[in-house]
Amino acid sequence: MSVTFYCYPKCGTCRNARKWFAANDVIYNELHIVEQTPTAEELKALIQMSGLEIKKFFNTSGQKYRDLQLKDKLKSMSDEEKMNLLASDGMLIKRPLTTNGSVVTVGFKEDQFETAWK
């Protein structure tokens, strides 16, 4: 199985996911989430595939999220505005973001990866 793996090289969670892929022989195409940020259209497709709410795609522990005070602002934004905001800066996206074109995982939880990618 081959997956697309959006990550940030300095992110510890992304490094843990990369180790899990190696240990489980999962082939992946790594994309730097800041340099190759998914477009709003790509994010819309990923969000629909995941079945998750858009807010789950935000990196709520990130500095950029706090700097922009998004905790309060997101409540009054439309879904389209949220997707455009996510597409504007990869640091706003929770990582790693992983997909094979039909399944999507956001973040890294070993049990979730076991189910989705093994």
Q: Which domain holds residue 61?
A: 2-117
pLDDT for 2-52, tens place per residue? 899 999 999 999 999 999 999 999 999 999 999 999 999 999 999 999 999
Whether the model clears a pTM of 0.85, i.e. scores above it, the answer is: yes
- The total domain count for the chain is 1
CATH of the domain at 31: 3.40.30.10
How many Cβ atoms sit within 10 Å of the Cβ of residue 87?
18
pLDDT band at residue 1, thresholds of 50, 70 and 90?
A: low
pLDDT for 90-112, tens place per residue? 999 999 999 999 999 999 999 99
| Cβ atoms 29, 3 nearer than 8 A | yes
